[in-house]
Amino acid sequence: MGRSRWLFGLAALVALPAVALTLNRIVQPDAGWAIRLVAFTPFALPFYVVCLLLVIGVLLADPAARRRAVGVPTVVLALGLVVHASWLAPEFVGRSPDVAGETFTVMNLNLLRGNADPEQVVRLVEERGVEVLVLEEITDAAVAALERAGLSEVLPHSAGQAGSDVEGTMVFATENIEAVSQIGTGFGAWSMTVRLPQGDVQLAAVHPVAPVGDARSWRQDFGVLEASQRERPSDLMVGDFNATLDHRALRELGFDDAAAMVNHGWGPTWPDNGTTDILGVPVPRMVAIDHVLLGDRMAATEVDSASVDGTDHRAVIAEVGLR
């Protein structure tokens, strides 16, 4: 009896963060801390698994406790497990729509205040055959360094604007970029038409502010992005969204995530390269906040990510085409 009570107590302790993550994802309160917590929703799944294993341990330790163990707590745990599995399932299973004609390659990377290694960026562009490159937190110094590394030789056309710190966002492409207009978010965001051989593509390069503090600016930025899509719908929306697929604000933009479309699986993109640590211990990648999002005309055939020295974000590389 003592051992079963101990296991039940441990299961209850482990269940607390799992249930909290579940309720937070469902309700999505406006508080800044709650918005940030949504990014960690996938971590509830292993908590639920551990809880159910502990309940099984109770049954093995004390068969007389069976009637209690299969009651409401077990149903709640099983339901939580199913709910989180259903939220994650689209990233692992499903079928990608067919692509009509040739595809092209899009890459996104947050340069971390312009500190990403420019030669690695250009080499990645060349090796992956990138035709559209979206860069956030690009500074004037980073533009100059990328130019010296040869970026303009492979991607001679550009749009957007560099900044002095985190606000710069730019697009580089193999073909002409036209009809460029700014989207009024806190950091740089731009709408444009890229005239690729595969067809004209309407692109939005975005970087909503991070949900710090009360996250009011984060919510405002997503409202601006949603409004911009009503005025000028995009085929592609690419950038560091500071949001995961668990955030309702991201889903309500109405796009498909390229990684989910090709069943890439859960692929966190931040923090990379051990740039974030707790008491000197590097934090592994935990949240997927960098995305290539696809409108109704687009489909993805392949998605990958790559590490670049000097930045805490992974590059997201997607092969996409018109449906």
Domain regions of the chain by residue span: 2-91, 104-322
Other beta carbons within 10 angstroms of residue 153's beta carbon come to 10
Name the residue type at position 14.
V
63 burial (CB, 10 Å; 0-12 / 13-18 / 19+) is exposed
> Taking the domain 104-322, which CATH number applies?
3.60.10.10
pLDDT of residue 240: 98
Mean pLDDT, residues 88-98 taken together:
86
pLDDT exceeds 80 at position 85: yes
- pLDDT more than 70, % of the chain: 94
Q: Does 52 have pLDDT greater than 60?
A: yes
Residue 138: closest CA among 179, 180, 157, 110: 110
Least confident interval from 16-25, 92-101, 310-319: 92-101
In angstroms, the CA 57 to CA 52 distance is 9
With a cut of 80, say whether residue 56 has pLDDT above it. Answer: no
| pLDDT single digits (tens) 227-282 | 999 999 999 999 999 999 999 999 999 999 999 999 999 999 999 998 887 888 88
* Range from 2-11, 28-37, 51-60 that averages highest in pLDDT: 28-37
Question: In this predicted structure, what is the pLDDT of residue 238?
Answer: 98
Residue 318: what pLDDT? 98
Q: Is residue 70 predicted with pLDDT exceeding 90?
A: no
How many C-beta neighbours within 10 Å does residue 93 have?
A: 10
Confidence of residue 54 (pLDDT cuts 50, 70, 90): confident
- Provide the 3-class DSSP secondary structure of residue 100: coil
The answer to whether the beta carbons of residues 64 and 282 sit under 8 Å apart is: no
Which long-range CB contacts under 8 A does 20-26 form with residues at least 24 apart? 21/47, 22/80, 22/83, 22/84, 25/87, 25/246
pLDDT at 153: 98
pLDDT tens, position by position, 189-213: 999 999 999 999 999 999 999 999 9
